[in-house]
Structure 1
């Protein structure tokens, strides 16, 4: 915006008279960015030979239009660009240009790489290299990657995209001029765009019929990537864990109370986003002996998990909690995915007949965050040994089984508080 400056000129007839003059310098401060769209965004642009120079220019214009529409700035969205062909390369990262005008200038200078259209390789590159603190990633902002593909990729994208999603990246696909019937035989992964994104509801994938219609996608894309509440693929405290329930089935619990414990397990499980790429649930029961009820890989939907919990039968016997923790490490958490948080939620109503200190220490050293839930005759000192430090955040006690339900919000809140306090990169 040009600012109006008053300049005073001398007139022999009437003294000083004001003359309005437009200054040539803008006094408008640089935008801090749209705070309602605080995302860290990576654009993966297709620089393969198949795109051609004219369509590559259209792609760059599309990028510039998106940069303008986003209102880039330190308090809002930040944007970087990776170009891929045979191999990917970062054109500029999140902190290189922190306003829309500088971004547009930088986009104009991008030159085409050529080669194949290896989008899968590019997604893997972005997952490993792009969203780091040194590249300007802010940690608290959702990570978003928009992949542009001319026709179809020349490598596979599904596995690379799954790993990206499990690393907390929201993947969007824009496919332009998809394969014709004659060309479909060359596509390595039919329906690749839907396989790559985390929800097949059309939100994360946009198909453009031809390059000349690409500009119509600017506003729909900006609206989606800025809809932070719908970016369901980022790692959150509710969709990034392997949770193993260790359930005391000893004789002192009794059949009725055991059903109450299972309801508590179900109520906690309901709070999480459950799928094979989100949170996974496993459960075991113990007395003197141990029994795996179901592992992390057996059920991949919330309905299946709740059904499996309902079917757990009461065992009855002694209370060897130490042995149960060892068993959980071997039978449950050994099969946990490397990039998942490992949470053990142990529920017991009494003091253990065996040592819990050594097995608990092993669990803590292996990175298993342990929550100890005590009921009735459970020993507070033992719960604190089992629980991850600090015990006040990981050990809980209620006098009666019927009060277990009251702990659900507190346990969930503590799980989320702990997750959100950790650096994401």
Structure 2
């Protein structure tokens, strides 16, 4: 019996030893597998932009064929986050056109991005962007952190999330405490699929309550900040968010403009070119950085007749605007560009439609081929209303088609300058994307948007009024009414036209300076309050006084206009003060009444005298010169180079 018992004990010990050895071997094999984890690197599409991925650092795999020009890249070495990730990787030399794995790291936005041609990719320039990124080759060691069986699950950082080994993810997903927290939840709630546009993950993921029975404090923290795990891989909880969760941009304050896009919806453009036109708009608004403190954009589509798709205040960020543009459907009909420009001039830039007043008004007119109506005159009216008109003409008329063009060279004549700044002539719709950055740069160059500074809102106008005894009280009131009639024609504010006045006899008096009143009602009221002085006539001294006391405080970017009104010959010399006015850039209009000397008026007036000196027999006929003086001021303004 004792022998049997000993034999049985020996058998049991032998079995235990076998099991122990097998277990040790199994653990070694498991350890070997864990030591050689296989990285799961998501593949993205060629058109995925870095800004669409919220992680500050991530690894992705690019497919082949991302060298195509349609995948836009902005910058060299450091790229704007609006760039294609894979296109930038090829441009930087990290990848070739066959694709591969890359490591992307976000960095701060740059004040400018320089375009260059490298490795078959043409990158574009960009004035500024809110975020940048740099690219390096496949680096996996930093991500290889194999877990040891039996350890507690820890939260995964964003930089680890894109490259967690499958073995580690599987171990975490099947460890007992974690499994308990999943299975104990009666109704798992779907979070949803990964965005198709971002192209990183597709499996549906689920969340369950972190307060499930058996969940440890570490696991509860993991649910708050860590990823959601499945046996098919790992999806970071944060990565389910899209770009819309980033802080909403207030827009680029260096490009504060109110912009109207007039897009061609005529039948002749066709569906394919209409889609290219919409993509061009999307690219422009993405590069502009839309926001309430920066540029605002509305769209008008024209065909037979124009219609507003949305106004300036409808969409306050680039993403919403992009979505709205993609939903625009083609109207069809003729290409009545002139009617569309007239519509924008009368209706679009109103306060009710979101016009901000202090921001330059810009209209970008897209034209396929040529207009079917006249555009030159309506464009002039638009410019004189304070609108900077840009033309983008695509695939203009061939030689045999020019007979059908209503106004030859319409694009160069419709804009305010013939130096090419306000017009783009694009040979093909397929090359339209090359115009994005030049157009963005020009519409944001507010110092050169001279067409929004018209003759009505761009000057400091100083009236020098004769208050001598020969004028008389009644006629002096008539002179003041003339001054008021001229002033009413201008747009008056601190940033637009400003009005000042000097009265003179033997002496001089500053009635009010340019910075005294900032509205039209206040200016008209101030003119009415000017009191008649009476005395002699020292016109030369009055001009010198106006230069020193009035125009010396004129703003550098303002046109300086002096309008002198007198009824007699001066007691002093006017030639030297008139020359001083000319040298200081003051444009002088000399208005003579009754006994004024015409030869003296011509000396005072800016050359040519016929455009700047006027004579009237009676005070009561002064009002007749108001339209002519305004016309001359505007004609001269529009003829001067301003960019």
Q: Shared topology, TM-score over 0.5?
A: yes
Give the aligned partner of residue 258 of structure 1. Answer: 574
Structure 2 contact 568–592 (Cα < 8 Å) conserved = no
Among 303, 314, 328, which residue is 2:622 paired with? 328
TM-score by length of 2: 0.44
In 1, the alpha carbon distance for the partners of 2:297 and 2:611 equals 49
DSSP-derived class of the 2:406 partner: coil
Structure 1 contact 40–141 (Cα < 8 Å) conserved = yes
Residue 185 (structure 1) shift: 0.6
DSSP-derived class of the 1:307 partner: coil
Give the aligned partner of residue 380 of structure 1. Answer: none
Structure 2 contact 263–301 (Cα < 8 Å) conserved = yes
Give the aligned partner of residue 386 of structure 2. Answer: 168
Which fold has the larger relative contact order, with Cα–Cα distance below 8 Å and residues 6 or more apart in sequence?
A: 1
Q: Aligned in 2, Cα 1:53/1:310: closer, same or farther, shift over 3 Å?
A: closer
**Which has the larger displacement, 19-28 or 163-172?**
19-28
CA RMSD of aligned residues (A): 3.7
Structure 1 contact 244–328 (Cα < 8 Å) conserved = no
Give the aligned partner of residue 46 of structure 1. Answer: 264
Structure with greater strand share of residues: 1
Structure 2 contact 592–601 (Cα < 8 Å) conserved = no
Give the aligned partner of residue 16 of structure 1. Answer: 218
Structure 1 contact 284–291 (Cα < 8 Å) conserved = no
Q: Aligned in 2, Cα 1:293/1:147: closer, same or farther, shift over 3 Å?
A: farther
Give the aligned partner of residue 129 of structure 1. Answer: 347
Give the aligned partner of residue 308 of structure 1. Answer: 608
TM-score by length of 1: 0.65
DSSP-derived class of the 2:377 partner: helix
DSSP-derived class of the 2:563 partner: strand
Give the aligned partner of residue 238 of structure 1. Answer: 459
Q: Which residues of 2 match residues 208-219 of structure 1 at below 5 A?
A: 208-219=426-437
Q: Which residues of 2 match residues 386-405 of structure 1 at below 5 A?
A: none
Deviations 1:178-209 (A, max 9, x none): 00000001111111001010111111000100
Give the aligned partner of residue 186 of structure 1. Answer: 404
Q: Aligned in 2, Cα 1:48/1:78: closer, same or farther, shift over 3 Å?
A: same
DSSP-derived class of the 2:451 partner: coil
Q: Which residues of 2 match residues 246-395 of structure 1 at below 5 A?
A: 246-248=564-566, 250-254=568-572, 257-263=573-579, 266=582, 270=585, 282-286=589-593, 288=595, 306-309=606-609, 323-324=618-619, 326-330=620-624, 332-335=625-628
In 2, the alpha carbon distance for the partners of 1:328 and 1:265 equals 24
Q: Does 1:159 align with 2:377?
A: yes
Structure 2 contact 251–317 (Cα < 8 Å) conserved = yes
Q: Aligned in 2, Cα 1:221/1:285: closer, same or farther, shift over 3 Å?
A: same
Instruction: Number of aligned residue pairs: give it.
Output: 313
> What are the ranges of 5 or more consecutive residues in structure 1 without an aligned counterpart?
273-280, 296-304, 342-425
Residue 271 (structure 1) shift: 5.0
Deviations 1:241-278 (A, max 9, x none): 69673343734434xx221343355357x357xxxxxx
In 1, the alpha carbon distance for the partners of 2:629 and 2:569 equals 30
Residue 2 (structure 1) shift: 3.2
> What are the ranges of 5 or more consecutive residues in structure 2 without an aligned counterpart?
1-52, 57-153, 158-171, 179-213, 228-235, 461-488, 491-496, 498-560, 635-643
